[in-house]
């Protein structure tokens, strides 16, 4: 069983503020979806997990300098910019 507190905890981990209404709705939906996920408990066969499907291993490229984005291009989509830098929220109070 998933409690309303569990839903708030997941929302906090995911850094998404949710309303009380949303929390109630998600709790109900998550319960049936997680119940559905729990079907996997029936799988007993123990095999190696597949993280990715192609037999690729350690794909490296030459470490060569190349032109990246200009400062102007990199900052073009940011709302808060100061002196040519991104401006973010406070991390330390």
**Contact call for residue 87 and another protein (CB under 8 A):** yes
**Contact call for residue 83 and another protein (CB under 8 A):** no
Judge residue 32's burial from the number of C-beta atoms within 10 Å of its C-beta, 0-12 exposed, 13-18 middle, 19 or more buried: exposed
Taking a C-beta distance cutoff of 8 angstroms, is the pair 64, 71 a contact? Answer: no
**Contact call for residue 84 and another protein (CB under 8 A):** no
**Contact call for residue 59 and another protein (CB under 8 A):** yes
Taking a C-beta distance cutoff of 8 angstroms, is the pair 11, 27 a contact? Answer: no
Task: List residues binding another protein (CB under 8 A).
Answer: 7, 10-18, 22, 26, 29-30, 32-34, 36-37, 39-43, 45-54, 56, 59, 61, 69, 73-74, 76-80, 86-91, 93
């Amino acid at each position: 069983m998933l409690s309303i507190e569990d839903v708030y905890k997941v929302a906090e981990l995911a850094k998404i503020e949710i309303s009380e209404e949303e929390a109630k709705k998600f709790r109900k939906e998550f319960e049936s979806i997680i119940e559905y996920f729990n079907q996997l408990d029936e799988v007993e066969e123990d095999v190696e997990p597949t993280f990715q499907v192609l037999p690729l291993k350690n794909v490296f490229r030459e470490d060569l300098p190349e032109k990246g984005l200009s400062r102007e291009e990199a900052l073009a989509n940011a709302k808060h910019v100061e002196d040519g830098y991104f401006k973010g929220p406070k991390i330390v109070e």
